[in-house]
């Protein structure tokens, strides 16, 4: 394409969004093609293509088989964790999904019913998602690293008819038994699903509740394959929960039609892929990266996707990523910067890379947290490839800012996430709602309408959607991130402006962590916030004031708090540091000065706020840190 292709697409998408996206919609197959563009959705946001009819699982599987891809590998499961590898052609994956969908239908699953999926990185997790989609049921995948409480909260919000799970996951050399975690969540949850379907893995045998728990293989073996159910374009495909500023996660709702169009478009424009090539997103199906770029986009676009059940290091070594790329002929890889920081820490010279032929790899994509210049430069030097940061969110489902390599190759700007992807009109707004000039930092906002593929709204909470995303700047979507745009249109994302932190690419709510810490009987008050960490980007730190008369020692309380967060959220919270302090800095009206605390903990020298109750407290905190 010519060098103005990006501007031309961005201008057309901004000038007449409906015409632009209806044109893109015509590039995928539909059961009934849409004629309408965007309009308001009942979940609070916008929906696209409501008068079209499509089933995403059909588009990702049956339509690919029809198009002659039946014998092409659709899915590669590479599991150093279990020592197994498995490949599925499009025809085989279609058959497995159609059969499992038949089994789910026999268990009573109907269009619109919810299904919670709590699984490790096994092919059955992908099969489960696609089988739900095939029936028009709405899946809600819960990350397998979450503790029972987190799972229970999501079960209560989604109210699933079924829960699909497995006997265990594998973390390095540890077997994590999932079934006892699921049982605990089901005990805690108020909503009781009608049934569960459990995949027994050889590493651990789950005990089953007769009448409630069904054996996965038996369900699949006895079922007959069923056809995909065509659904309206705006029919919910999935709910994916993400952390907000409070303990209650937000249920992001995504659709069949708009999502399919966006997934197809992004494989071409954002990732520069060709159908038939191998795409690898090293993430987890429990995150949006896993939904979009392990499962849906690669299959909708006719690529081969890799599902990796392992880690960047210690499975077995820091050469694991290079092995997967070489062994499966990966064309483009996508992961979070923290994964490459882990590799760099263990193998700074990339000695282990030299054993592998990486000649097929064209590009590396990074997202999930800011790509720090040091990691960018190291990766670029070691691979000699384009190392492309891009920025997006669970809410958007695909890249808001990118280097649109499928349209034209823009030179990498280190530290920037790229330019606004066509369809996203990104603006930086000041507190008065005025647009900031180049280089001036403010709230990163997107002018509405958001393009297809973004959230329809929040599950059963249109009000929270409005207050979280729309109220601050009417006519815009508030991303929650702060940043600036330079003269060239490159977007720099500087971090969250609210109480959300990013730990190893995992979004966590400090509000939720505070709620858990505050519930300890010895804690009078507390503050939890993120501090910079070289490996994980950020780590949570808790400052705690004990109640007068508390009999436990500071060490005992700290140990219990760390254990409490691990038990209630999961090990992924990486909540390992608690400091007991005599008091917390507050405004005269009693509000804890969190921003000041965060700055102190990050080694900065914050200005003493004029509203502070007693400035001497800051020295006490410095001493404690």
Q: Does 54 bind ligand 1VU (CB under 6 A)?
A: no
Residue 236 CB coordination number (10 Å): 25
Q: What are the backbone angles phi and psi of residue 170, rounded to the nearest 5°?
A: -130, 120
> HSE on the CB side for 109, CA within 13 Å?
32
Which residues are 148's β-sheet partners? none
Residue 279 to residue 294: CA distance in whole angstroms? 8
Q: Which of 185, 516, 572, 601 binds ligand 1VU (CB under 6 A)?
A: 572
Q: Does 405 bind ligand 1VU (CB under 6 A)?
A: no
Report in angstroms how near the CB of residue 312 gets to ligand 1VU at its nearest.
5
Residues 6+ apart with CB under 8 A from 363: 271, 272, 331, 332, 333, 385, 386, 387, 388, 405
Q: What is the CA radius of gyration of the chain?
A: 24
Report in angstroms how near the CB of residue 196 gets to ligand 1VU at its nearest.
18
Biggest CA pair distance of the chain: 74
Q: What are the backbone angles phi and psi of residue 91, rounded to the nearest 5°?
A: -65, -40
CA separation, residue 539 to residues 264, 504, 510, 517, 575 (Å): 35, 8, 11, 16, 7
Q: Does 283 bind ligand 1VU (CB under 6 A)?
A: yes
Q: Which of 445, 508, 516, 574 binds ligand 1VU (CB under 6 A)?
A: 574
Helix 148-158 to helix 178-188 angle (10° resolution) is: 50
Per-residue three-class SS string for 524-543 = EEEEEEEEEECCCEEEEEEE
Residue 107 burial (C-beta neighbours within 10 Å; 0-12, 13-18, 19+): middle
Report in angstroms how near the CB of residue 385 gets to ligand 1VU at its nearest.
20
Q: Does 176 bind ligand 1VU (CB under 6 A)?
A: yes
Q: Does 571 bind ligand 1VU (CB under 6 A)?
A: yes
Classified as helix, coil or strand, 307 is strand
Binders of ligand 1VU in range 210-269 (CB under 6 A): none
Q: Does 133 bind ligand 1VU (CB under 6 A)?
A: no
Residue 219 to residue 214: CA distance in whole angstroms? 7
**Selected range binding ligand 1VU among 150-158, 410-418, 498-506, 583-591, rule: CB under 6 A:** 498-506
Q: Does 196 bind ligand 1VU (CB under 6 A)?
A: no
Residue nearer to ligand 1VU on the CB measure, 311 or 464: 311
Give the β-pairing of 304-308 and 278-281.
Answer: parallel
Q: Which of 8, 39, 53, 171 binds ligand 1VU (CB under 6 A)?
A: 171
Binders of ligand 1VU in range 290-309 (CB under 6 A): none
Residue nearer to ligand 1VU on the CB measure, 336 or 546: 336
Q: Does 169 bind ligand 1VU (CB under 6 A)?
A: yes
Report in angstroms how near the CB of residue 303 gets to ligand 1VU at its nearest.
19
Q: What are the backbone angles phi and psi of residue 485, rounded to the nearest 5°?
A: -120, 135
How many chain residues bind ligand 1VU (CB under 6 A)?
A: 27
Report in angstroms how near the CB of residue 119 gets to ligand 1VU at its nearest.
10
Report in angstroms how near the CB of residue 144 gets to ligand 1VU at its nearest.
4
**Selected range binding ligand 1VU among 88-96, 222-230, 336-344, 611-619, rule: CB under 6 A:** 336-344
**What's the residue count for the chain?**
625
Residue 29 burial (C-beta neighbours within 10 Å; 0-12, 13-18, 19+): middle
Nearest to 416 by CA among 406, 428, 435, 402: 402
Report in angstroms how near the CB of residue 478 gets to ligand 1VU at its nearest.
17
**Selected range binding ligand 1VU among 89-97, 203-211, 283-291, 402-410, rule: CB under 6 A:** 283-291
Q: Which of 338, 375, 479, 510 binds ligand 1VU (CB under 6 A)?
A: 338
CB-CB contact of 233 with 52 (8 Å): yes
Helix 337-346 to helix 373-383 angle (10° resolution) is: 70
**Selected range binding ligand 1VU among 226-234, 320-328, 502-510, 598-606, rule: CB under 6 A:** 502-510
Report in angstroms how near the CB of residue 597 gets to ligand 1VU at its nearest.
23
**Selected range binding ligand 1VU among 37-45, 325-333, 390-398, 486-494, rule: CB under 6 A:** 390-398
Q: Does 144 bind ligand 1VU (CB under 6 A)?
A: yes
Q: Which of 289, 379, 601, 621 binds ligand 1VU (CB under 6 A)?
A: 289
Report in angstroms how near the CB of residue 394 gets to ligand 1VU at its nearest.
6
Residue 38 to residue 496: CA distance in whole angstroms? 29
Report in angstroms how near the CB of residue 282 gets to ligand 1VU at its nearest.
7
Residue 339 to residue 314: CA distance in whole angstroms? 12
Q: Does 287 bind ligand 1VU (CB under 6 A)?
A: yes
Residue 127 to residue 600: CA distance in whole angstroms? 48
Q: Does 392 bind ligand 1VU (CB under 6 A)?
A: yes
Give the β-pairing of 330-335 and 363-366.
Answer: parallel
Q: Does 311 bind ligand 1VU (CB under 6 A)?
A: yes
Q: Does 204 bind ligand 1VU (CB under 6 A)?
A: no
Residue 132 to residue 72: CA distance in whole angstroms? 23
Residue nearer to ligand 1VU on the CB measure, 55 or 315: 315
Report in angstroms how near the CB of residue 421 gets to ligand 1VU at its nearest.
13
Residue 411 to residue 122: CA distance in whole angstroms? 37
Residue nearer to ligand 1VU on the CB measure, 393 or 448: 393
Residue nearer to ligand 1VU on the CB measure, 234 or 393: 393
Report in angstroms how near the CB of residue 187 gets to ligand 1VU at its nearest.
20
Residue nearer to ligand 1VU on the CB measure, 287 or 473: 287
Q: Which of 318, 336, 410, 420 binds ligand 1VU (CB under 6 A)?
A: 336
Q: Does 533 bind ligand 1VU (CB under 6 A)?
A: no
Q: Is the Cα dihedral 517, 523, 529, 533 positive or negative? A: negative
**Selected range binding ligand 1VU among 185-193, 280-288, 353-361, 378-386, rule: CB under 6 A:** 280-288
Residue 344 to residue 195: CA distance in whole angstroms? 45
Q: Does 46 bind ligand 1VU (CB under 6 A)?
A: no
CB-CB contact of 566 with 542 (8 Å): no
Binding mask 88-127 for ligand 1VU (x = CB under 6 A): ----------------------------------------
The site for ligand 1VU (CB under 6 A) is made up of 144-145, 169, 171, 176, 283, 287-289, 311-312, 336, 338-339, 342, 367-368, 392-394, 504-506, 536, 571-572, 574
């Amino acid at each position: 394409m010519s060098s103005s292709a990006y501007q031309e697409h961005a201008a057309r998408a901004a000038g007449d969004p409906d015409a632009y996206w209806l044109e893109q919609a015509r590039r995928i197959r539909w059961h009934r093609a849409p004629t309408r563009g965007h309009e308001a959705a009942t979940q609070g946001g916008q929906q696209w293509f409501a008068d079209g009819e499509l089933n995403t699982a059909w588009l990702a599987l049956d339509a690919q088989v029809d198009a002659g891809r039946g014998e092409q590998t659709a899915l590669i499961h590479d599991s150093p964790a279990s020592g197994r590898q498995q490949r599925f052609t499009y025809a085989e994956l279609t058959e497995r999904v159609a059969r499992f969908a038949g089994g789910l239908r026999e268990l009573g699953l109907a269009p619109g019913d919810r299904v919670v999926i709590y699984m490790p990185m096994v092919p059955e997790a992908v099969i489960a998602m696609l089988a739900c989609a095939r029936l028009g049921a709405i899946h809600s995948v819960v990350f397998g690293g979450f503790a029972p409480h987190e799972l229970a909260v999501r079960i209560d919000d989604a109210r699933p008819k079924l829960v699909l799970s497995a006997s265990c996951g594998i973390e390095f050399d540890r077997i994590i038994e999932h079934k006892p975690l699921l049982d605990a969540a089901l005990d805690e949850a108020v909503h009781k699903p009608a049934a569960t379907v459990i995949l027994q893995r050889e590493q651990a045998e789950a005990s089953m509740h007769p009448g409630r728990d069904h054996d996965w293989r038996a369900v699949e073996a006895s079922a007959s394959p069923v056809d995909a159910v065509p659904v309206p374009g705006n029919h919910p495909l999935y709910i994916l929960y993400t952390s907000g500023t409070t303990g209650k996660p937000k249920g992001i709702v995504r659709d069949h039609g708009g999502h399919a169009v966006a997934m197809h478009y992004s494989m071409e424009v954002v990732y520069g892929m060709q159908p038939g090539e191998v795409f690898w997103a090293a993430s987890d199906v429990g995150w949006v990266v896993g939904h979009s770029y392990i499962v849906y986009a690669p299959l909708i676009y006719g690529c081969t996707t890799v599902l990796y059940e392992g880690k960047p290091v210690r499975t077995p070594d820091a050469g694991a990523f290079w092995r997967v790329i070489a062994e499966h002929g990966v064309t483009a890889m996508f992961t979070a910067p923290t994964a490459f920081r882990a590799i760099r820490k263990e193998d700074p010279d990339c000695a282990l890379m030299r054993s592998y032929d990486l000649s097929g790899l064209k590009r590396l994509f990074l997202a999930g947290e800011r790509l720090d210049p040091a990691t960018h430069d190291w990766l670029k030097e070691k691979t000699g490839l384009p190392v492309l940061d891009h920025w997006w969110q669970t809410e958007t489902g695909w890249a808001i800012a990118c280097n649109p390599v499928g349209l034209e190759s823009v030179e990498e700007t280190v530290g920037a996430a790229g330019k606004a992807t066509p369809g996203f009109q990104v603006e930086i707004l000041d507190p008065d709602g005025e647009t900031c000039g180049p280089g001036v930092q403010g709230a990163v906002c997107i002018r509405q309408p958001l393009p297809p593929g973004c959230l329809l709204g929040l599950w059963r909470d249109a009000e929270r959607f409005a207050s979280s995303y729309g109220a601050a700047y009417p006519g815009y979507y508030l991303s929650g991130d702060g940043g600036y745009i330079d003269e060239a249109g490159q977007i720099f994302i500087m971090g969250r402006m609210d109480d959300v932190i990013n730990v190893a690419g995992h979004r966590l709510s400090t509000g939720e962590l505070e709620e858990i810490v505050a519930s300890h009987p010895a804690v009078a008050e507390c503050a939890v916030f993120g501090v910079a960490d070289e490996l994980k980007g950020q780590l949570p730190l808790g400052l705690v004031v004990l109640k007068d008369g508390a009999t436990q020692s500071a060490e005992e309380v700290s140990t219990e708090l760390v254990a409490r967060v691990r038990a209630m959220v999961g090990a992924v919270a990486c909540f390992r540091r608690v400091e007991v302090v005599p008091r917390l800095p507050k405004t005269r009206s009693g509000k804890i000065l969190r921003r000041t605390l965060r700055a102190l903990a990050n080694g900065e020298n914050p200005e003493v706020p004029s509203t502070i109750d007693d400035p001497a407290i800051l020295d006490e905190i410095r001493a404690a840190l």
